[in-house]
Amino acid sequence: MLSAHPDTPKRLLDWGRIARDYALYRPAPPDSYFARLQERGVGLKEQNILDLGTGSGLIARGFAARGARVVGVDLVPELVREAGKQAREEFVDAHFVVGDVADLPLPDAWFDVLTAHQCWGDFEAGAASREAARVLRPGGRLVISHFAWLPRESEIAQASERLILKHNPHWGSFNWSGQAPPVSVEGEFRLLAALSFDEEVAFNRESWRGRLRTSRGIGPVLSEPDLRRFDREVEDMLKRRAPGEFRIPHRVDLRLYEI
């Protein structure tokens, strides 16, 4: 599935062709993400959870592994297939469907929780908010979250971002300060909590290269030859800077709403 994005003007994001890398190398939020939500009544056993923009199902499978019943929705068929494959291999109760957030193929008032991880900003806020309100039960919760590396705290992340910009000068997410991105939620949703915390994520050269290939400014927009060149340059950089395993600081931020 192709979609436009302001970070890449006059380009298209083709997530389908990097679906396998996405499933293999995109890190899930840490256990603390799920623990802090469970403390606030989200992600409990037997809850019905809908994960919007599920990608390869990282969030959906995380909740399912903790006993929730989860459905994941994404526009990209290749990602939906990868998510289903991963869920079957992990023996978790998560199911995945192709669908549009603006017109969800799901019944009214069915879900206890709706999650949108790394994706709410890509949606039209009014349509997404209306559909979220429709499929949530009264008193249901909406979780909007973000999980990204902190380039100002990692030389490897800084060097990686320079390479991303070299290959895609239109990329607009470089040098992130750590400040939570703005969120627009319409309708009768009430903010219950806003959290932000940091965790380090372990990588080696292979997994960090894979993570970078799945970055919005690289994998979905570069041609195959350009992607291979980028990957080689990342490997050369890592050989100089990271001989073994290394850790990259990441920040989790999330907002919890109730309707």
pLDDT-derived band at 11, boundaries 50, 70, 90: very low
CA separation for the pair 102, 124 (Å, rounded): 8
First to last CA, the chain: 31
pLDDT in tens, 152-170: 999 999 999 999 999 999 9
pLDDT of residue 252: 97
Cα 134 to chain centroid distance, Å, stands at 23
Query: What does each C-alpha distance from 191 to 79, 97, 186, 236 come to in angstroms?
Result: 30, 28, 11, 45
With contact defined as beta carbons under 8 Å apart, do 73 and 97 qualify?
yes
As given in the structure block, the two tokens for residue 153 are 């705290």
- Least Cα distance to 51 among 39, 41, 61, 65 occurs for 61
The mean pLDDT value of the chain amounts to: 94
pLDDT-derived band at 206, boundaries 50, 70, 90: very high
Domains of the chain, first to last = 2-148+176-199+250-258 (3.40.50.150)
With contact defined as beta carbons under 8 Å apart, do 132 and 102 qualify?
no
pLDDT of residue 180: 86
CA separation for the pair 60, 195 (Å, rounded): 20
With contact defined as beta carbons under 8 Å apart, do 161 and 214 qualify?
no
pLDDT in tens, 95-148: 999 999 999 999 999 999 999 999 999 999 999 999 999 999 999 999 999 999
Burial category of 129 from C-beta neighbours within 10 Å (exposed 0-12, middle 13-18, buried 19 and up):
buried
pLDDT-derived band at 12, boundaries 50, 70, 90: low
As given in the structure block, the two tokens for residue 190 are 């009430």
CA separation for the pair 47, 136 (Å, rounded): 12
With contact defined as beta carbons under 8 Å apart, do 52 and 128 qualify?
yes
pLDDT-derived band at 182, boundaries 50, 70, 90: confident
pLDDT in tens, 213-241: 999 999 999 999 999 999 999 999 999 99
pLDDT in tens, 44-80: 999 999 999 999 999 999 999 999 999 999 999 999 9
With contact defined as beta carbons under 8 Å apart, do 71 and 91 qualify?
no
With contact defined as beta carbons under 8 Å apart, do 235 and 205 qualify?
yes
CA separation for the pair 51, 106 (Å, rounded): 12
pLDDT of residue 243: 79
pLDDT of residue 1: 41
